[in-house]
Amino acid sequence: MKQYNIVVAGTGYVGLVTGVCLAEKGHKVTCVDVNQEKIDYMKKGKSPIYEKDLEELMIKNKDRLNYTTDSASIYKSADVIFIGVGTPEKKDGSANLKYVYKVAKEIAQSLEKDCIIVIKSTVPIGTNKKIEKYIRSNLKNDVDVELVSNPEFLSQGTAVHDTLHAQRIVIGVKSKNAEKIMREVYDPFEVEYVITDRESAEMIKYASNDFLALKISYINEIANLCEIVGANITDVAKGMGLDSRIGNKFLNAGIGYGGSCFPKDTKALNWLGNFYDYELKTVKAAIEVNENQKIKLIKKARKYYESFEGINVAVLGLSFKPNTDDLREAPSLDCIPILLDDGAKIKAYDPVAENNYKKIYPTEIEYCKSVEDTLKDADICFIFTEWDFVKEMDISLFKKLMAKPIVLDGRNCFDLNKVKNERIIYESIGRKLIDNI
């Protein structure tokens, strides 16, 4: 395996996972961040984000991993620099590229040798070309640079596995030399390559994420109709998923998608289409459906309580999905403010996301350490996240502990046949109402 001096700029989900996984495959990697406290934390083998297997690999590969804030001295001798900084959503839906440009300028002013610069962050189509021009115009030394588009396809909660066992590696280049170097970097991964131009590579990322988001919104709309006509979305999705042309992934009905990718990427592509006077009707519809879906449980709850004033509410799960502490675009952040504004008394349990939620609601919510404490004396229960502790819990606890066993399950965590044996009011998404009281 050919060794390159690899640097990764940014230590969030994309940057840190990329750096650690490259080290796991035998490369020596330096991860750069502006936050010294964060760097010191990582030097101890601790991950600043909750991600399965990440800390274990940081410790395992500590001799191949370095962490620093001294970007100038690290960039100057790098062979390959991966840019993995955030591209958050602006108010108009477009991607904010200020962090990408900031890193690009630091690289340009530091380089002392030819370098391949790889944009791993999700960026609008045409960004690699613009950043390359920007770097060239800011170079302090006579060196050659080439930008490569290499989008990531990881999911939070399974990011390490998704990177180490990628289904494909997309590389957008404009020269054979850049292609050769990228193939050598990724050679240990033993996976199929998609080699294309940079604009197509950038579009592959957006087209992939937006298609999955559309698939989720579509099954949620079908689920909503199932409730009206008396069909069961679980059976419908199974029947659809067995068709190889459709597949069974992303057909789990619920209260919408969240996280750092789908909401941001659908809005960014929609914005880009509008910018060029082209309406992406399907993407626009996926966004609208998802926004409405996130408060579906609140609408269901209004059947039981016109007002939540003084109502004891139990919340199971706060993060947007299980196995992550990420709250970005989590449905709980849409629903809990409504409940609080209406006067509800909320107790919540999430084994991982609690600390992040406390940054938003430090005192307004009572945070519990168990399902039992959360459910005790509750008048209604909302399930926002399909954590294993929820799916595996004893369903009889709802009846035993709650003052009024009304359970609104936004993730279809329980088998309807099992719920039938319990004397509770249970509503899920796209499945027939169960009322056994």
**Which residues are designated catalytic?**
261
The residue behind tokens 């370098």 is 115
Q: Quote the DSSP letter at residue 145.
A: E
Burial bucket for residue 421 (CB in 10 Å: 0-12, 13-18, 19+): exposed
Q: What gap in Å lies between CA 317 and CA 335, rounded to an integer?
A: 12
Tell me the β-bridge partners of 406: 425
Task: Return the structure tokens found at 391.
Answer: 């799916």
Tell me the DSSP string of 267-278. Answer: HHHHHHHHHTT-
Strand, helix or coil at 162? helix
Name which of 10, 52, 48 is nearest 29 in CA terms: 10
Of 230, 269, 238, 237, nearest to 89 by C-alpha is: 269
Residue type, 10: G
Are 284 and 317 in contact, with CB atoms under 8 Å apart? no
Amino acid at 125: I
CA separation, residue 201 to residues 1, 137, 149, 181, 224 (Å): 25, 24, 6, 17, 35
Q: CA-CA distance, 11 to 7, in Å (whole number)? A: 11
Look up residue 35 and give its two tokens.
Answer: 């936050």
Q: Give 404's DSSP letter.
A: S
Rg for the chain, CA atoms, rounded: 24
